[in-house]
């Protein structure tokens, strides 16, 4: 975040321009999805139809965590990295009871998360996730995580020691996708169209068996495989601008408030 915030210096300038050029996305979405890469390579099926929804800063899409994950967290809660995640006194007492495996409190939490979910309630141990770009057509959901100064992706949440950010976006997107396929990728800063080595490694790490198992503990092997196949890798802002004929002047050096 801050003055080099990628949402404001990269995402918004680029995607605002793309929307002005073609709000349907038909002329630029296929080209965009051909840019990311990873090993092993995956084949991307190009979406059909116009964009039905397109969200980024300052109106990012907020996606709720899957109920199945929230239930898993309730039943498998361990002490968070920071006690701040426990909340105030009343919330802390209830969450500490979950960590202590209190059967009465676990049963109460499971019932509440199934019937009366409040995103900020004590029994919700993962909040909403906000991909930097959310695009949806009649057959595809695309979630993009943009980076600029970061050396790698976020790989944890308050209550999970392994929860890779792009998998979190994709996992939550599955819940709203219906029959649509879900595609996810990173766009990062580079000196050129060449993806920096540490980001190529991050792409590999994202689809490792351990990362998938620990990030998606509530998913079946088939579901994890489907999500992994939808992760198409990483590209750079520079490659994106070159491929979509966006002048470099569109990019903002830093935010001045």
DSSP assignments along 111-122, one per residue? HHHHHS--TTST
Q: Which contiguous run of DSSP H or E holds residue 200?
A: helix 197-206
Q: Please state, in angstroms and rounded to a whole number, the distance separating the CA atoms of residues 238 and 35.
A: 11
Token pair 């000196």 in the structure block, residue: 191
Q: What is the pLDDT of residues 196-235, one digit of tens each?
A: 999 999 999 999 999 999 999 999 999 999 999 999 999 9
Torsion angle of the four alpha carbons 19, 38, 176, 179, in this order, in degrees rounded to the nearest 10: 100
How much is the pLDDT for 76?
A: 98
Q: What is the pLDDT of residues 24-45, one digit of tens each?
A: 999 999 999 999 999 999 999 9
For the chain, give every domain's residue range.
2-64+128-250, 67-115
- Token readout for 147 is 């980076």
State yes or no: pLDDT of 1 exceeds 70: no
- Token readout for 157 is 């949440």
Residue pair 132/11 in contact by the 8 Å Cβ criterion? yes
Query: For all residues of the chain together, what is the average pLDDT?
Result: 95
How much is the pLDDT for 48?
A: 86
State yes or no: pLDDT of 20 exceeds 70: yes
Bridge partners (DSSP) of residue 142 are: 135, 183
How much is the pLDDT for 193?
A: 84
Average pLDDT over residues 6-16: 96
pTM for the model stands at: 0.96
Check residues 54 and 1 and name the one with the higher pLDDT: 54
Average pLDDT over residues 47-73: 97
Residue pair 10/237 in contact by the 8 Å Cβ criterion? yes
- 137 burial class (0-12, 13-18, 19+ CB within 10 angstroms)? buried
Q: Please state, in angstroms and rounded to a whole number, the distance separating the CA atoms of residues 237 and 249.
A: 13
Q: What is the pLDDT of residues 83-132, one digit of tens each?
A: 899 999 999 999 999 999 999 999 999 999 998 778 889 999 999 999 99
State yes or no: pLDDT of 138 exceeds 90: yes
């Amino acid at each position: 975040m801050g003055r080099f915030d990628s949402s404001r210096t990269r995402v918004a300038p680029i995607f605002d321009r793309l929307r002005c050029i073609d709000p349907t996305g038909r002329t630029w979405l296929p080209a965009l999805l051909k840019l990311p890469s990873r090993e092993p390579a995956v084949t991307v099926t190009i979406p059909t139809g116009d964009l039905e929804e397109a969200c980024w800063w300052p109106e990012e899409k907020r996606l709720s965590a899957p109920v199945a994950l929230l239930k898993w967290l309730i039943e498998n809660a361990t002490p968070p990295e920071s006690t701040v995640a426990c909340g105030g006194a009343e919330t802390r007492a209830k969450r500490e009871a979950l960590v202590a495996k209190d059967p009465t409190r676990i049963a109460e939490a499971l019932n509440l998360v199934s019937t009366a979910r409040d995103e900020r309630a004590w029994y919700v141990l993962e909040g909403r996730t906000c991909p930097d770009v959310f695009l949806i057509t009649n057959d595809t959901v695309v979630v993009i995580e943009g980076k600029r100064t970061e050396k790698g992706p976020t790989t944890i949440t308050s209550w999970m020691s392994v929860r890779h950010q792009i998998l979190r976006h994709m996992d939550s997107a599955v819940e709203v996708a219906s029959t649509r396929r879900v595609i996810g990728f990173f766009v990062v800063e580079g000196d050129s169209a060449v993806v920096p080595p540490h980001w190529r490694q991050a792409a590999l790490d994202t689809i490792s068996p351990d990362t998938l198992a620990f990030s998606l503990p509530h998913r079946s092997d088939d579901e994890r495989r489907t999500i992994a196949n939808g992760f198409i890798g990483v590209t750079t802002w520079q490659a994106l601008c070159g491929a979509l004929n966006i002048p470099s002047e569109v990019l903002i050096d830093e935010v001045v408030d």
